[in-house]
Amino acid sequence: IGPLQQLPRGTPEAVALGARLFEDPKLSGSGQIACASCHNRELAFADGVSRSFGHDRTRLTRNAPSLVTAGWMSTLFWDGRADSLEAQAIMPIMHPDEMHGSLPEVRTRLAADPAYRAAFARAFGDAEVTDARIAQALAAFQRSLSPRRSRYSRFIAGDVNALDERQLRGLGLFRGKAGCASCHNGPLLSDQRFHNLG
C-alpha cells in the first residue's frame, strides 16, 4: 500500500470538544451510554466482543469496529451506509438499539451546560449547539486518532536502527526461510536493507 493521505485536521478546540462528547453519556437516551461505551480507548477504540451491547443492554447484531483508522475510511459501518465521519457520528446516537437518543434532547442537554456552551464557542466561534456541530466535533476527534508508528514502520521509512539484531533476524526468517511473507505480505521491500537478512 502507498502512503496514507494527510487527513484534514480539526482545530484543537474542536478535537477537545469531540473527545468530551465521545465520553459523555448525555448523548444517549438513557444518559448511561457514551460512544466510548462501545469504542473503548484501551481496546483500540473497539469493544472486544463478538456483538456489542446497546441501549438497555440490547445485544446488537455486530461488534464495534476500531476507530483508530476511521479517518481514512471512505465508507463507514459494517454495511458502508455512511460516507463520512460527520454522517456516521450522529447515527449511533439516534439508533433505537444503540444509544437510543433524540437529537433535540441531546441539543437541549448540551446547551443547558455552561461548560459545553463555552466549549462550543471555543470550537465554532459562538455557543450555538447544532446537530452539524456535534457531528463535526465528533468527526474531528475521530480523525485525530491514528495508530502509533511501530519500529517496523520506522525501519521501512529508512531508520536502519529502528530494529535490533534479534528483530532483524526475525524479519529475515519471516521474509525468507519461514515463508510467512508469502501470505502475510506488507510493503514490497527490495532495497539493500533486506539483502542480508536471511
* Nearest to 104, CA basis, from 135, 131, 132: 131
Cα(1)–Cα(188) distance, integer angstroms: 9
Cβ pair 69, 7 in contact under 8 A: no
Q: Beta partners for 76?
A: 82
- Reduced to 3 states, what is the DSSP secondary structure of residue 102? coil
Q: How far apart are CA 41 and CA 87, in angstroms?
A: 22
Examine the pLDDT at 79 and tell me if it is beyond 50: yes
> If pLDDT is split at 50, 70 and 90, which confidence band does 25 have?
very high
- For residue 99, pLDDT over 60 is answered with yes
The pLDDT assigned to 192 comes to 47
Looking at residue 186, what is its pLDDT?
59
The residues with which 40 forms a beta bridge, in sequence order, are 46
Which residues neighbour 37 within 8 Å (Cβ) at sequence distance 6 or greater?
25
State residue 191's pLDDT score: 44
State the CB neighbour count (10 A cutoff) for residue 115.
9
How far apart, in whole angstroms, are the C-alpha atoms of residue 65 and residue 78?
A: 8
125 pLDDT tier (thresholds 50, 70, 90) = very high
User: Which of 31-40, 128-137, 169-178 shows the highest mean pLDDT?
Assistant: 128-137
The CA-CA-CA angle for residues 190, 191, 192, to 5°, reads 130
The distance from CA 109 to its chain's CA centroid, rounded to whole angstroms, is 25
Per-residue pLDDT at 107 = 97
